Structure 1
């Protein structure tokens, strides 16, 4: 599949990360097709066009030499049920990490402990896994993408790696998946420390240079919600800020960005504030010409019968466990028609002294609450604004629709910091 450009007139993708209402991801151990069918009907009913699904790696490949056909068949069943509901599917391959838990097979743990990024044998096993699962899901016409995994950088530091190693690891597995299914989008997915943490061994270029398009995960519990409150500009523009950072960092000025995860987590966003948070966030990020699509986290709440999850994980769903749409679902549904329409916008650019592509050690200078971030939020309050790393050529700016630039130091924030 040829990756779309930011000026592609095709409608944007709007979907949900599928968290089963019965049994969370443990439901893969005992798949109930009727329960899945009901869940997917909820999502189709509010106008979504796709789901992102998460087979769990150690249950598919419990031994380096064994990939369970039953597990692959169950995955294909879920994909087929999505097709019945009129939903396309993106498949995450390496889980990996989900909702604060790491899921790793026994052959990389205990007496066999070895890094999933560094160990030669583990990487060989992963290549087999990625190739086998990708080939299988590519047989279904409603599958449009595979992602290496859900925030694989959460597996560090328990799994040793360096920036060079993690980049090589991702390039190797993306190439494996692409060879197995050239017609699919193949992606690499990381949480936002890749953009914000100076010493993190997964760097911005892993997001913006590897795979067919960039993906970002916007979570306001990273500290941004404490800057100006649950409905302040810093909070409701954070998704737009991450999309813009990814677009600005890419060497291809037309590389699209998929907002692959975003949610309204308690207590950062109160239950009575979720509706407004959804509307304001989507209005802001929907104005970004780099945006390719939005996938909400997540489809359904987590039952309180399941124990030991962080408290915020239980209430992130668009639907309750008994299939009632929540205010966030209704707000998302109302935003879909406008959000689907791609935009081509000319906008001013805010010049950033930090070039994340070449200076990842300076990531703290663009993290939430930094001087640059505060200046961008202030500039964004007047309308859409691009991020322009210093030294970008006029041709690149023109490709990104940037008309005129302003140094960040010339913008003086006037908004009140909620931490003061």
Structure 2
């Protein structure tokens, strides 16, 4: 007889915080407290419980031996304002990459050009930075996590690396953050090339072995929406598919997966389809027992007076720059009110690819692959796990993941 499923903790719902005024450039002038309060009031008002925030690395550490206290104090003030609205906070450390721009200090650029991932002096500077910032934010009770940085693999290939160097780099910084702030979750953040591109130098094993839980970022402009349109099954289940890949890749069957970024980008998801996309996508991924929480990208739209962003970046917010709740915000709020965590078991589709051991085969599980197509087809009848061939006969493992039936690959 299968073991009873362990009780699941409540799902977390939050937003990646993009200020409604001035984007992240507002930090250069110390954002007005009342403006930040208004932003956080918007988010708390639709039932969100956390925000993910993004201090800009080169503004805090403009020289390898200089870490400025003033922007750190501004960050702590931001965290305190979130606490006023009972919002807990996750802090990304190395920004790094944001909305198609890379923010890097001059001491790794121009005549000083050297790779973040391989140069020993740069890595020493980053250890000092991560140590300092993690210690500072851990003084605030409403901070629950630090992430090394936002999609740090976007900083490749401008910063050359190898799989071995990428793993060592992340492990070193995670160790530094844990030592500095042992009560916080410490996380690694990578965009989906690590799951889908065979030659990418950041490997799936890093996602599921480094840090305290796995993070995934689901963006349907990666080609998924081209398979079957804005409301097609491949599009609306992509978030669930990534969470499942992560769960199946981990050696720990109980390791949680945080959907740390998901959004409704135009033109892939037209404005009139966005609320339905939100409801269907969240309905599917919430059924996944591995899911820790969902953090929407992003809180507020980007002011169109700011130039040179990709067109889709301007309209990703839950709220306009004038604090009007958009249809996606109202739909998200309804899902938060109405959702229930699943209690039943589900079947699993066997995947012949073990992403931890065979990263060179990542293309075989990428969107549009034979495996992905088979999973999407079967997923239409209800929740569907993924299990590697090596684990398909491991009864204890299957029980821990709530899997009652193993389906052969198609």
Tell me if both proteins adopt one fold, taking TM over 0.5 as the criterion: yes
CA deviations on 1:135-164 (whole Å, 9 max, x unpaired) are: 000000000000000000000000011111
The C-alpha deviation readout for 1:278-301, integer Å capped at 9, x for no partner, is 000000000000000000000000
Measured in 2, the distance between the counterparts of 1:86 and 1:252 equals 32
1:164-203 matched pairs, under 5 angstroms: 164-203=164-203
Residue-by-residue CA offset, 1:299-349 (whole Å, 9 max, x unaligned)? 00000000000000000000000000000000000001344x443431111
* Pair 1:105 & 2:105 matched: yes
Alpha-carbon displacement from aligned partner over 1:248-304 (angstroms, at most 9, x marks no partner): 000000000000000000000000011000000000000000000000000000000
Within a 5 Å distance, the mapping from 1:298-377 to structure 2 comes to: 298-339=298-339, 341-377=340-376
Unaligned runs of 5+ in 1: 1-5, 410-420
State yes or no: 1:134 paired with 2:106. Answer: no
1:114 and 1:405 map into 2 onto residues whose CA distance is 48
Structure 2 residue matching 1:79: 3-state secondary structure: helix
Q: Quick check: 2:8–2:289 contact (8 Å CA) kept in 1?
A: no
Contact persistence 2:166–2:202 (CA under 8 A) = yes
The answer to whether the Cα contact below 8 Å between 2:301 and 2:314 also exists between their aligned partners in 1 is yes
Q: Contact conserved, 2:115 with 2:159, CA < 8 A, in 1?
A: yes
How far apart are the structure 2 equivalents of 1:342 and 1:147?
A: 26
3-state DSSP of counterpart to 1:308? coil
Runs of 4+ in 1 over 6 A off after TM superposition: none
Match of 1:394? 395
Residues 185 and 8 (structure 1), Cα distance of their counterparts in 2 relative to 1, 3 Å cut: farther
CA distance in 1, matches of 2:274, 2:409: 31
- Following superposition, the deviation at residue 8 of structure 1 comes to 4.9
Tell me how far 1:394 sits from its aligned partner. Answer: 2.3
Give the Cα separation in 1 of the matches to 2:293 and 2:344: 17
Consecutive unaligned residues in structure 2, runs of 5 or more = none
Aligned length: 403
Q: Which residue of 1 aligns with 2:143?
A: 143
Structure 1 counterpart of 2:259: 259
Match of 1:3 in 2: none
2: CA distance, partners of 1:247 / 1:8: 17
Tell me the residue number matched to 1:290.
290
| Residue 216 of structure 1: aligned partner | 216
Root-mean-square deviation (CA), in Å?
Answer: 1.0
Q: Is the 8 A contact 1:13 1:294 kept in 2?
A: yes
Q: Give the TM-score normalised by the residue count of structure 2.
A: 0.97
1:403 aligns with 2:404: yes
Please tell me whether the aligned partners of residues 106 and 112 of structure 2 are also in contact (alpha carbons under 8 angstroms). Answer: yes
Distance 1:151 1:100 in 2: 11
